[in-house]
Structure 1
Amino acid sequence: MDQRDEVTAFLRSRRDRITPEQAGMIGGGRRRVPGLRREEVATLADISVDYYARMERGDLRGVSPEILDAIARALRLDEAETDHLYDLARAAEPRPARRRPGSRGDQVVRPSLQRLIDSMGAAVWVRDRRMNAVTANALGRALYAPILDDPEARGNTARFTFLSPAAATFFPEWESSADQLVATLRGYAGQNPRDRPLTDLIGELVTRSEAFRVRWAAHNVRHHRTGVKRFCHPLVGDLELTYEAMDLPANPDWLMFGYTAEPGTPSEERLKLLGSLAATDDPLAVVRAPL
């Protein structure tokens, strides 16, 4: 991914979606663009047209936080989009990005972390920012078994979603799940533009999946923090689960996800059943199975 092209495509995609009426622009005659013109964005941000044009050509070097905030307001960026703009600006600086401790290739799970995960009653699993599974507790592994055991996915949620025929069944709301996954992956790519395994994964999916390619070209971003996920599990059927995402500071590249069901719902009963089925296996085999 060329960083300047990323900046250009992101800014253009954001201004294309805002109509002059939404921005409070009056008049302007015939228009050749679907949304705002460059000069209109510059006016809304209170900067020169030349300065904004330089930014949209992909040059964010030296752009101040105040200007970035003004552009975010002009383009009506949400929190995730604003953070992405800041990530793109940081990546444009000439100094090399510092490698965060534990940010690449550290796949050794500390025993203390595994004990914590195993002690939780929720379905818990940990993945990295390339969508690779790292570890899970017994219930988490049972929940995500269709992904973890899929030969095409190889433990990677993105590969499963876009390359495995089983994905459309496992994710009943596949379209929205796919939208959210790509938007999350776009955010990770903005944070780590020099992460070769991440760019290799994106390149693979762009090449092999038209559905991924179309979504990637939209340049949407989102934070993956909390929400509701629906599954059609091959063992217990339909599940509607709420998830919470947690950072792991000792491993900045990893995120831990916990899934629970609303009390008294069919999903709670089915999740308990799944836990019972997982408990009938050798616990060590479930927990330590390759992820």
Structure 2
Amino acid sequence: MADKQQVRADIREFLTTRRARITPEQAGLRAYGSSRRVAGLRREEVATLAGISAEYYTRLERGNLTGASESVLDGIAHALQLSDDERTHLYDLVQAAGSSRSAARRRPTQARVRPAVQRIMDALTLTPAFVVDSRLDILAANELGRALYAPILADPVKPPNHARFLFLDRHAGDFWRDWAQAADDAVALLRGSAGRDPYDEKLSNLIGQLSTRSDDFRVRWASHDVRAHLTGAKRIHHPVVGDLELPFESMRLPSDPGQSLVMYTAEPDSPSHAALRLLASWSAQPHTPQPADQTATDA
């Protein structure tokens, strides 16, 4: 369970990891000599770039950002060359550190998907669609979405969860053809969610479970990378229709706190488009839920 001390630790580690990735040359500073003990920027160099004293920046990096003005935070974000997602994450952490536990909580993530949203998904007959929450729980899907994500949805633990499948299911490396990228993206999304609501007990429990059981997750979590990842493409190997490359769009649902609608498409007349049509036909037929390429080693 997160508390203010943990939030301050997250601020410290986030700023430290951002500082370590930028060389003086990348920051436009001249590096003198070859005796530097750090690969990235020193604290005093960040302070100079941000226009504040080294003592003040040191206090801020230790997690004590109470009272830090917007201009100071903007200066630090500029000095550390933060992306828009990272800048937002820093502000989220600062807000959580300066608020009481009850005040820091956002509107709670809803587990129920509104019927209107489900009807929209159901109307997308050749577009796999899902509603996920800030913990990457899959809350709902349309028929083609359920067929596409059949290996993930087979998890007996409900609701099924993207990150839990990625890091704890032995079939994840077969399903996600770019497993490492999918894993990076999932952790970056969870890190952003943890910054927005560090007191989400379900999220804290998920992170604790994954950190305990997966070295791959633990290493990625320690990197403090943050990225919204609202568009892109996923490369999937489906056990029934084979390889697919599917661009996706993810959009937050403003009326449903913590929920996002994710939709996959395929380029017209592409092999992936043909595979989606085949999957739609397969999902509409009665069948025994046995993947076509399941091997005897899975038994």
Q: Taking structure 1 as the reference length, what is the TM-score of the superposition?
A: 0.92
- 1:211-230 to 2 correspondence within 5 Å? 211-230=216-235
- 1:3-82 to 2 correspondence within 5 Å? 3-29=7-33, 30-82=35-87
Partner residue in 1 for 2:167 = 162
Deviating more after overlay: 5-14 vs 23-32:
23-32
Contact 1:152 1:159 in 2 (8 A): no
Contact 2:237 2:244 in 1 (8 A): yes
- Spell out structure 1 runs of 4+ moving beyond 6 A: none
Matched, 1:231 2:218: no
Question: Secondary structure at 1:97's aligned position in 2?
Answer: helix
Contact 1:152 1:164 in 2 (8 A): no
Contact 1:152 1:160 in 2 (8 A): no
**Cα offset for 1:94?**
2.8
Partner residue in 2 for 1:97 = 103
Partner residue in 1 for 2:89 = 84
Partner residue in 1 for 2:245 = 240
Q: Write the distance in 1 (CA, Å) between the matches of 2:219 and 2:158.
A: 20
Shift in alpha-carbon separation, 1:111–1:22, aligned structure 2, 3 A: closer
Question: Secondary structure at 1:245's aligned position in 2?
Answer: strand
Runs of 5+ consecutive residues of structure 1 not aligned to the other structure: 283-291
Contact 2:96 2:104 in 1 (8 A): no
- 1:103-252 to 2 correspondence within 5 Å? 103-104=108-109, 106-121=110-125, 122-151=127-156, 155-252=160-257
Q: Write the distance in 1 (CA, Å) between the matches of 2:41 and 2:117.
A: 49
- Which letter maps to 1:73? H
Q: Write the distance in 2 (CA, Å) between the matches of 1:273 and 1:168.
A: 23
Contact 2:187 2:217 in 1 (8 A): yes
Q: Write the distance in 2 (CA, Å) between the matches of 1:257 and 1:143.
A: 13
Shift in alpha-carbon separation, 1:36–1:54, aligned structure 2, 3 A: same
Contact 1:162 1:211 in 2 (8 A): yes
Matched, 1:269 2:271: no
**Cα offset for 1:27?**
3.8
Contact 1:147 1:153 in 2 (8 A): no
- Which letter maps to 1:242? P
Q: Write the distance in 2 (CA, Å) between the matches of 1:20 and 1:213.
A: 29
Q: Write the distance in 2 (CA, Å) between the matches of 1:83 and 1:280.
A: 46
Runs of 5+ consecutive residues of structure 2 not aligned to the other structure: 288-299
Q: Write the distance in 1 (CA, Å) between the matches of 2:203 and 2:219.
A: 18
Shift in alpha-carbon separation, 1:27–1:112, aligned structure 2, 3 A: closer
Q: Write the distance in 1 (CA, Å) between the matches of 2:104 and 2:94.
A: 15
Identity between Structure 1 and Structure 2 (%) = 52
Q: Write the distance in 1 (CA, Å) between the matches of 2:263 and 2:76.
A: 36
User: How many residues end up aligned between the 2 structures?
Assistant: 280
Superposed CA offset, 1:11-61 (max 9, x none): 010111111121122244421212111000000000111111111001111
Q: Write the distance in 2 (CA, Å) between the matches of 1:150 and 1:238.
A: 22
- Please, what is the CA RMSD of the aligned residues? 1.6
Q: Write the distance in 1 (CA, Å) between the matches of 2:194 and 2:58.
A: 24
Contact 1:236 1:274 in 2 (8 A): yes
Question: Secondary structure at 2:203's aligned position in 1?
Answer: helix
